Structure formats: structure tokens, C-alpha cells
Structure 1
Amino acid sequence: MATMYSLFYGVLFITVLFLGGIGYRAVEREIAEVQPKSMAMGARPGPQDRMVALRKRIVDIAVGEIGVREVTGSNDGSKVEEYLAYTDLGKGHAWCAAFVSWCYSQAGHLVPRNAWSPALFPIARRYTSQQIRAGSIRPADLFAIYNQRLGRINHVGIVRKIEGNWLLTIEGNVADRVLSKRRPRATVYAFSNWLD
């Protein structure tokens, strides 16, 4: 009989430990869901935290390139040619999309990788008008400028910040250099998201 009680309490003890472990993990999940994104040092970042960090890294890389200039005004110069080379082109080509692609690659994100600005705005990557109205545009998203004469997108840049009806941008191949501009949102044709 004593063996039966020992066996019963042993099984009960193991069951309580097992169920207690499951309950603890469930509580851990609930706590993690309500904790703020900026957790104390030592905590592992979640997927959303990593995405915010990647977006910041892309913007920081682009900001670090502000001031890069073409040498002769003919889409040339060592840095400009580095941007173009990333998209398999040489000097002399328009480089706004190559610049954007290069910035993403320097942050460890291998897409987009294209020197043709319309290619950076496929329908699957574009924000809808509802998403734009809802304020979904974030830093490191891309914006497009449409050229009526060409009948297509002919310029792309990186969103640095949104300030009401204005965008603060980082763009390559504007006035023969990389610069930051303040653009009215009304002049933007499309936005795209290559990160989420």
C-alpha cells in the first residue's frame, strides 16, 4: 500500500510540475505581449523591434551619404559608381534607384536591387490610398515621383520622416548629389514598402 501512495504522489508531483511549466510559459507569453517595445537592457528584441531597428539603420546609412557628389555632373564619381555597380551598371546612368538599393544592401537587406525607379514600385509593394490616409508610411519606405512627359515614375528616394503634409527625404541624383529634401506629400506619386 505504501508503494501505491508513493507511486500516486510521484505521478501527481510530475503532473503538477509539467502543468505548472505550461502555465508559466502561457503567463510569460501574456507578459511579453503587454510589455512596451523599449524593454530593459538584456531583453531580446522581438520581430517588430528588429524591423524598427532595420528601418533606422537604412535611414542612418542614407543620411551618412548626404553630400556625396558627382565629379563632372555626368552621373560619375567613385561613390556614384559604387551605387551603380551594386545594380550592375557603370557610370553615366541615372542613379537614384541604385542609391536606394545600395542603402538597403548596406543595412543587410538585399532587396530591392534595381537601378530602374519604376521597378521599385510593383503593385504588391505599394501602399494603398487607404494605408496612406491611415498613416502607414514609415521611415525607410520609398517614395516615387511621376514624370508626365515620360509617362512613368522617374525618381525614387527614401522617406526619412513625415511631418504633416510634408516628407523629409534622402535622395540620390538630385542636383548631381545625395541630399535631404522637404517635399509636399501631394507631389508624391506612390509609396512602397520593401521591409514588411
Structure 2
Amino acid sequence: MKTSDKHHYEILKMALIKPGIAILIFFVGMIAFGLKAQEVQMVSSLKATELRVRQIYTSQIGIREKHSNSGAEVEKYLRYVNLPKGNPWCAAFVCWVFGQANVENPRTGWSPDLFKGSKVIWDKVESRKLKAKSLSGESGNMRQDPIAIGSRKYAYPTSQTTDNRQQVTPGTGDIFGIYFPDKKRIAHIGFIDQWQEDWVITVEGNTNMEGSREGDGVYRKRRPVKSIYQVARYIR
């Protein structure tokens, strides 16, 4: 008997003698095929872009400045937005990541430029209860912030800079903006990795362990939702 014939014979014998095993193998194969089909369905051009953006920004976690707002990697981000070393670079980092993923962006080092018009999908002043989700599978409900709009800690202006009155759930790959009352503008931005009920997991440049806007590297952070002023979307 040829080797191939013997192999087929053994498979047939197993199926006849132990039909339960054969059925199990069949269903395992179907499950594997089903998972593959789901992956193909999930990876649309939009989802692929979202995944690519996430892969790029997470690959930069751990980058550190050599000196204040300088160093090979930091200067690479700044060059992308035509700024020399020594400049704040949180916005440059965001734009550079988008650029590597071929996502259209304003290529700017000025944080407010990334939160204009229809790009803004979520606004602190007009926040609603939203079902939150992310690629990680984390989910939850975002509540209305109990802190008054005019509080000293979060003194947000009442004027709106978004064309969207129908708020959208922030998700992985969107960018957040933090408003600084002393500067009267958004002065620090980064990527949302997970949007949860009360917390946002972020990846951001020019920060540190304390969450400063003048930090020393790219960090994964955990910030309260109530600290976020606006969220903009570029990849959906």
C-alpha cells in the first residue's frame, strides 16, 4: 500500500471506528474557518487603518527625549510638521503617526488645529451618555460630568468649535484634547487607546509619569474622562 493510500485508510478507519472523534475534528475545522471568515469581514479598509494607526503609536511607547524637546525620535516628529528641535511636540507626534499610516492630517505642531469643524466628534460641554467601546473590547457608559462647567479645575469655555451636534462615541485611534485655562486653548493632545466609563487609556507624546504637557517622552497614560475637553476623529 502506498504511503498516501495508507494515510487515507487510517483517516477512514478512525472515522468509522470513532465517529465522535471525526465529528469533533469536523466542527473544530468549521470553527477555525468561521474565525478566519470573521477576521476577513472585520478587516475592512477602515478597520485596517485603525489597526495600523494603533500599531504605530504603540510602537513608540518608551521613546525619550535626549534633552528638552530634542533627540533623534523627537526631532523626527517635529520635522514632519516643519518645526525645529526645542518645540513642544505632542501635536507633532500625533501628526507623524497619522502620516506613517497614510491618514490625512493638518501636519501641524499647533494643538488647536487638530480640533476643527466636523473632525470634533465629542465635546465636553455637550457630553451625553454614550456607549463606549474600543478594539480591546473594553466598554462602558460615559456619564455626564458632575463638575460644573465654570469650575476652577476645569474652566472650559462655553463656545463650541465643532459642527457635530450629534455626539459620537470616542474609540481607539481618536485623539483627545486637554484644555488649559491659563492658555485659553487646547494645549495637550494624544491618542485614545481605550475609552471607558470614567477613564481614558491614552498614548501620548511630550508627557511624563505625572501627565505633564511638557514631559520627556511617549507614555501610555490613564486619565479621567472629566479631564478631556474634546475628541477628534481622523480615521473613520
TM-score by length of 1: 0.73
User: Kindly tell me: are residues 125 and 132 of structure 1, through their superposed partners in 2, closer, same or farther at Cα, counting changes over 3 Å?
Assistant: farther
| In 2, Cα distance between equivalents of 1:155 and 1:166 | 17
**Pair 1:52-2:92 in alignment:** no
**Pair 1:113-2:153 in alignment:** no
* Residue pair 2:173, 2:191 contacting (<8 A) in 1 also: yes
Deviations 1:123-161 (A, max 9, x none): 321114567632411100000011110111000000011
Aligned-pair CA distance for 1:63 = 0.6
Aligned-pair CA distance for 1:42 = 9.7
* Residue pair 1:143, 1:156 contacting (<8 A) in 2 also: yes
* Residue pair 2:205, 2:218 contacting (<8 A) in 1 also: yes
Aligned-pair CA distance for 1:194 = 1.2
Figure out how many residues of one structure are paired with residues of the other and give that number.
157
* Residue pair 2:104, 2:234 contacting (<8 A) in 1 also: no
Deviations 1:101-140 (A, max 9, x none): 0011111213142111010000321114567632411100
**Counterpart of 1:68?**
63
User: Kindly tell me: are residues 57 and 70 of structure 1, through their superposed partners in 2, closer, same or farther at Cα, counting changes over 3 Å?
Assistant: same
| In 2, Cα distance between equivalents of 1:56 and 1:42 | 13
Which structure's CA Rg is the greater one? Answer: 1
Aligned-pair CA distance for 1:82 = 0.2
User: Kindly tell me: are residues 39 and 176 of structure 1, through their superposed partners in 2, closer, same or farther at Cα, counting changes over 3 Å?
Assistant: same
| In 1, Cα distance between equivalents of 2:226 and 2:202 | 14
**Counterpart of 1:176?**
216
Which aligned segments of 4 or more residues in structure 1 are displaced greater than 2 angstroms? 128-135
Percent of counterpart pairs with the same letter?
35
- Structure 1 alignment gaps of length 5 or more: 1-37
* Residue pair 1:126, 1:193 contacting (<8 A) in 2 also: yes
Deviations 1:23-65 (A, max 9, x none): xxxxxxxxxxxxxxx762896x58x822122112111111100
Which amino acid in 1 is paired with 2:219?
A: L
**Counterpart of 1:86?**
80
Which amino acid in 2 is paired with 1:171?
A: E
Q: Which has the higher helix share?
A: 1
- Structure 2 alignment gaps of length 5 or more: 1-34, 132-168, 208-214
User: Kindly tell me: are residues 82 and 148 of structure 1, through their superposed partners in 2, closer, same or farther at Cα, counting changes over 3 Å?
Assistant: same
